[in-house]
Structure 1
Amino acid sequence: MSVPPKRLAGLDGLRGIAVALVVVFHFFPAVLPGGFIGVDVFFVISGFLITGLLITEWDDTSRLALGRFWKRRARRLVPPLIPLVLVLCTAAWLIGGDVLVGLGWQLLGAVTFGYNWVSIAGSVSYFSATAPELFRNLWSLAVEEQFYLVWPFALLGLLRVRNGRLRLTLVAALALASAGWMGLLVEPADPTRVYYGSDTHSFGLFTGAALALLLRRSGFSRGPAPRLTALLGRWRARLGLAALAGLLAAALTLPDTGMVTYRGGLLLVSLLSAVVIWAAVQGPRFGPALDTGPLRYLGERSYGIYLWHWPVLVLAQAAWPAAGASPTGPATVLTSSVVGVLAAALTLLAAGVSYRWLELPVRAVGVRGSIRRLRARTIHPRGRLGWLGLVGVVALILAAGTTASLVTAPTQTSAQSEIERGQEAVNAAEREAARLASRPAAGALGRPSSGDLITAVGDSVMLASAPELQTGFPGIMIDAAVSRGMGAAPGILAALADAGTLRPVVVVGLGTNGPIRPSQLAVIRQVIGPERELILVNAFAERDWTAGVNDDLARFAARHRKVELADWNAAIAAHTDVLADDDIHPGPAGGRIYTDSIRAALVRLAAPPPAPGLEVYRRPVPAGSTGPRPPLLP
């Protein structure tokens, strides 16, 4: 039995804050859009504690027992993972559908502690809305475990350097190199590679390690000046409080896909976390103040909470599809909140059971000791046999459920199937256009069709609707891609205009993947020129930015001549049964509704007097579809 390390004041409270930020970010993203920084706070705490333990061992014994170190890490991390995998895979199998997609490679990443690199190798996006990965949150556990595997060797070399300042400089250089590598490699369209990568996202761990070296001051020729020490002592609590306020401000403001986050933002979060840790463990008041009852409770159970919260949320949303039934209406806000509260309650229950009956006993006496304790409590042989039988049956059921989940897992989500169907249609249209271009005489025959006037630029929702758009508007030109945002539209449209292939009617459907700015719409209007008509398709998605996107699109369309709104949101709200399981991407029936919403906008554009060339779209305007509009701008 190993002697537990001395508890450092404030760290449990800081863990509680960190896990609360992550959970709120995932359960209620509109409340804390930057709550993902809680993971980086955990990284700093881990780097600080692990390095401190290793330095203590080195100072006491002049050696590092790496086998014992890794055994302690495995005993701390692995036992809670086993019931997590068995219970949640079985639950996913019972629910079925998209939550089973990719379960095999997810388990491979989980059992090898390589989830981050398995995801990178498979081009799986952390920011994708089309694939509800059950164990996505295990990426950070993989980064930490890889650090635990490599760092002791590096530290062993550093501890042989007698100059303490040189040691600290080398570790600080590692942190800066990792942060710089993140800033250099980040891709604005999808930062997954740098967010997942151990090479690009280890600066928090190195920051914590540097703090541990600094506080131990081993190898330093002299300490800080007495006046500086006294000044820091007087200001320690205030600096810690200011750093904590900075962390909360980051949780409220940092965007998960913004470049500021990956080019300095997360490094700043790590430095602020180090200041909070320093103030907590060095001061007599700030650390105990952090360890208030609720925060300490959450901090002690933070590992279990982090493990369970994401899969429980994914399964709760899969089991209650109505949570995404009307993204802009109050019913969805209510149902989403109910799902979030229910998932939070189940998470706390599971984490509490794991902490009380698994983590504490295994941490205290090991796996074998915990089994002996359990057997000792059941003295009567008949009772012991009953317990063993119950445990065996439960284990057998969970193992069978996990096996079934792997065997029956589909190869792709329903949303991915619809997107792939749309991509095939777009590719076929491009091949046909190339064939006709090579035979101009054949291409000139026949009457122009209604789609020959339309260029459509959109995201994966438009891509999933492509077959129906081609049927409804034969000859339409579609340029749509997964995860595309409004910021991409001006460049795409400018390239088409320069090539002379931009058509008289431009349809833009790019509101699903993030907030937009009115200035982006103004640039689009400028790029296509005053002679072209513009149709803006609004968004339908359970995202915190959807309502704002739709308001901006409606205002722009109402104020500008030759701009109309295709109200996809209103058209699909009562027909979510024709969407994929993610309640975002349409199937064939949904694609027809998407097409009809654009057709209705075209009818309004072609209302008397129509712009030249739009007579093809003139039809009787349905009652109520036109009415007084605000003053129009060019």
Structure 2
Amino acid sequence: MVLLYHFYPKIFTGGFVGVDLFFAFSGFLITGLVIDEYSRDDHFRLFNFYVRRFKRIVPPLLLAVVIVLPMSLLISRDFITDISHQVAAVLGFVTNYFEILTGGDYENQFMPHLFVHTWTLAIEMHFYLIWGLILWFLVRNVIKQRHFSVVARGEMLRERVGLAAIIIVMIQLVLVNVEVLQGTNVNQLYFADLTHSFPFFLGALVASFTGVYHLPEAFQRLIDRWSTRRAIVLMFLGFAVLMTLLFCLHYDNDVTYLYGFLLASLATSVMIIAARVLHEKTPNIKEPAILTFLADASYSVYLYHWPLLIIFSHLMERNEAIILTTVLSFVLAALSYYWVEPLLTNRKLGFQHNRKPWLVGRWTAYCCLALLTVNGAWICTQAPQMSSLTRKLWVGNVQQDLDQLNGLAGQFNQNTSSASPVQKGKIPAGVTIIGDSVTLGTRASLAERVKNASIDAQANRNMGEANAIVAQQIKANTLRKNVVICIGTNSLDDYEQQLQDLIDQIPKGHRLILMTPYDGQADATWNSAKLAVLERKLPAKYNYITIADWNKIAPAHKEIFGGGDGTHFAGNSEGDELYAKAINQALKEAAKKPVKS
């Protein structure tokens, strides 16, 4: 589900709830194994619990980081901007809070962090630390009840674990509802422990009822009453709910946070119960080897797929990148699980039969890991602290502020001199350019290449905000004769109405030039692509509108984007020249047309 969401986010819009499926299952498995340990040994060793979690999580994670870092050099250095902080957040298991603090930055919409997906590991580790302590406390409390039998104490532990899990789930669900009603940013809701770790505890609740190896009497009675057919029906019912969520949920919808994550977790819990019953009902059916491999490799596949997808998507076509990402993720995951991890954690290798190859393999693994780690550390120290896009946007903003100050100074001097101000109603000559971050990144070039142009650009600007700028300039009588609108990459769902509002408010005596938006990551279903199609139809209806078709020009010159995000070309002189040329060509065409009458 997660891979489908990352590969085709516009089709499998709710695939991110695969994370909640994993959370619920992880909570079930970990809690069930702790209860089993107490039932078997009449004890729970917290330190050993943490060591087991460390060995399972950290070696594959470290290996993935040091392998991905050198591969990231294949694309733009902008993607490793300040990478040391990302790596520190990953290895410190605080990526979720790192994303809350930085993931909302405009640049990250186009250049996502290579390790953003490790936010799940951060929440998982926090769960292990906190829930492990709670379980240890509950076990210690139960052990003191010496007047009860071992079996009775085991049932007592299950009841207390279940009660603790229910309390935590209820508190978090209430908190989620309060945060949604208060309009809390969805990134914070999605990444925060307090609003997105309840699936772990739902899984823990299931474990307290079913167990993993040691079955409680109540669940054994349930197994005796249920038929295999009923368990299969329940399994497919939970699966059907998950498939429905896969296509229906959306990341930024309140319904997702109020009900979606809960439904996904409950459906997973139902499937766990059904699978546990089926396991007892079908003792002679063995798990297919391919499923065992998928289970072994799944964690490392998750670690590799996201950064590899980002890297390969900027080197080849999307579908080719997806295929290569999938294949290489499984190859690296198999290498990690069946060779490197056993060597690093002293786990037995399935394909080793004597000690000598094991020693050779172990030292080979240590040397390779050491070299990769040193190389990764070097990459972190050499990574830029500010991307070329950020630097260009900063420069553009400063230049724009200076131009506005100079404009205010000019108006002040004009109003205080003997010369009369521009008469009200007289249209200033020249060009007004209103744009978003793409325009802002090339602002200095436009100022040089487009004659008599006033440029107003801002990152993340949409058509509604551009309309407000136009209205302000109309009121101040500063809107020039030729109005160029370079907006659309950040199109909202109401783009049609906003475009019509722009057309309606352009005053008489002006010409309107629309620069069609281009987003290298967009397909035909994106609002920006739909806006480009709509804008091309307008000159047939309005004779004062001209199209500068950047949406067609840019794809024919992909070299201007380098290995970047496919939308911005900040710092690329060829891109600057091509962008200005498109506007100047459209202005020449517009000069042959009438103004709005």
TM-score scaled by structure 1? 0.75
| Cα offset, 1:287, TM superposition | 9.8
**The one of 550, 573, 577 aligned to 2:529:** 550
| Cα offset, 1:278, TM superposition | 2.7
| Cα offset, 1:594, TM superposition | 2.7
| Cα offset, 1:49, TM superposition | 1.8
- Distance in 1, matches of 2:95 and 2:313, equals 23
| Cα offset, 1:104, TM superposition | 0.6
CA separation of 1:486 and 1:23: change in aligned 2, threshold 3 A: farther
Unaligned stretches of 5+ residues in structure 1: 1-20, 324-334, 613-634
Amino acid in structure 2 at the alignment position of 1:208: G
The equivalent residue for 1:412 is 386
CA separation of 1:354 and 1:126: change in aligned 2, threshold 3 A: farther
CA separation of 1:286 and 1:586: change in aligned 2, threshold 3 A: farther
- Distance in 1, matches of 2:437 and 2:326, equals 31
Q: Deviations over 1:363-383 (max 9, x none)?
A: xxx82465999795317xxx9
The equivalent residue for 1:338 is 320
The equivalent residue for 2:459 is 481
Alignment of 1:172 with 2:149, yes or no, is: no
**The one of 458, 466, 490 aligned to 2:443:** 466
**The one of 303, 322, 325 aligned to 2:299:** 303
CA separation of 1:390 and 1:351: change in aligned 2, threshold 3 A: closer
Alignment of 1:378 with 2:356, yes or no, is: yes
Contact conserved, 2:561 with 2:568, CA < 8 A, in 1? yes
The equivalent residue for 1:50 is 30
Q: Deviations over 1:549-582 (max 9, x none)?
A: 3344333552542544331122222333333522
**The one of 572, 580, 594 aligned to 1:609:** 594
CA separation of 1:506 and 1:354: change in aligned 2, threshold 3 A: same
The equivalent residue for 2:567 is 584
CA separation of 1:375 and 1:41: change in aligned 2, threshold 3 A: same
- Structural mapping, 1:92-111, within 5 Å: 92-93=72-73, 97-111=77-91
The equivalent residue for 2:488 is 511
Structural RMSD (CA): 4.3
What SS does structure 2 have at the residue aligned with 1:574? Answer: helix
- Distance in 2, matches of 1:498 and 1:577, equals 41
CA separation of 1:36 and 1:485: change in aligned 2, threshold 3 A: farther
| Cα offset, 1:348, TM superposition | 0.9
CA separation of 1:170 and 1:399: change in aligned 2, threshold 3 A: closer
Contact conserved, 2:520 with 2:565, CA < 8 A, in 1? no
The equivalent residue for 1:330 is none
The equivalent residue for 1:78 is 58
Contact conserved, 1:182 with 1:263, CA < 8 A, in 2? no
Q: Deviations over 1:56-86 (max 9, x none)?
A: 4455566542212111111111121232222
Contact conserved, 2:206 with 2:269, CA < 8 A, in 1? yes
- Distance in 1, matches of 2:551 and 2:179, equals 37
Alignment of 1:568 with 2:550, yes or no, is: yes
Contact conserved, 2:430 with 2:481, CA < 8 A, in 1? no
What SS does structure 1 have at the residue aligned with 2:547? Answer: strand
| Cα offset, 1:148, TM superposition | 0.9
| Cα offset, 1:608, TM superposition | 3.6
CA separation of 1:317 and 1:455: change in aligned 2, threshold 3 A: closer
| Cα offset, 1:500, TM superposition | 8.0
| Cα offset, 1:609, TM superposition | 2.8
Unaligned stretches of 5+ residues in structure 2: 143-155
CA separation of 1:393 and 1:95: change in aligned 2, threshold 3 A: farther
The equivalent residue for 2:401 is 427
- Distance in 1, matches of 2:226 and 2:307, equals 47
CA separation of 1:89 and 1:283: change in aligned 2, threshold 3 A: same
CA separation of 1:338 and 1:490: change in aligned 2, threshold 3 A: same
What SS does structure 1 have at the residue aligned with 2:196? Answer: coil
| Cα offset, 1:503, TM superposition | 6.8
The equivalent residue for 1:329 is none
Q: Deviations over 1:73-103 (max 9, x none)?
A: 1111112123222222233357672343222
- Distance in 2, matches of 1:514 and 1:558, equals 18
The equivalent residue for 1:625 is none
CA separation of 1:158 and 1:530: change in aligned 2, threshold 3 A: farther
- Aligned-residue sequence identity (percent) comes to 27
Alignment of 1:594 with 2:573, yes or no, is: no
The equivalent residue for 2:196 is 201
CA separation of 1:450 and 1:29: change in aligned 2, threshold 3 A: farther
Alignment of 1:242 with 2:259, yes or no, is: no
- Distance in 1, matches of 2:106 and 2:395, equals 23
What SS does structure 2 have at the residue aligned with 1:200? Answer: helix
Amino acid in structure 1 at the alignment position of 2:440: L
| Cα offset, 1:401, TM superposition | 1.6
- Distance in 1, matches of 2:447 and 2:281, equals 64
